[in-house]
Amino acid sequence: MTTEHLNEFIHISPGFKAAVNLKNDRNNLKKVAGFIPTEVAREIILDLGKKLHPASDLRSRIIMGTYGTGKSHLALVLLNFFAQSIETTELQIIIDKLDPDTKMVLKQVSQTGS
């Protein structure tokens, strides 16, 4: 009989932190890299990327959720996606976790400089 422990199967992402303070963490790329995109987060990233296209006239999105659902962490990631080059190592860690359509939209937005 083998004895297995959960810590043999479950690992916390190195940059993951339970709380995000947008004012203090805006340049904390390690915290950005610790983001774990959920399906809803992927949809929001894709949607906002499309809305930043110069031809789009839809530019707003409401993000709601209960305490601890990752709204601030998502906002930190979005801030960094759209405020600096997506070629940074930390942002590439997140981009690698996204679907091909979202990757393409992020690349287009970064090239247009929106």
Asked whether the whole model's pTM tops 0.75, one would answer yes
For residue 1, being part of any structural domain is answered with: no
From first to last of its 114 residues, what are the pLDDT tens digits of the chain?
Answer: 566 788 788 877 665 666 899 999 998 998 898 898 999 999 999 999 889 888 888 888 899 999 888 999 999 999 998 888 888 899 999 999 999 999 999 988 887 765
Domain that holds residue 47: 6-112
For residue 97, being part of any structural domain is answered with: yes
Domain count, the chain: 1
Residues 6+ apart with CB under 8 A from 98: 37, 42, 45, 106
For residue 57, being part of any structural domain is answered with: yes
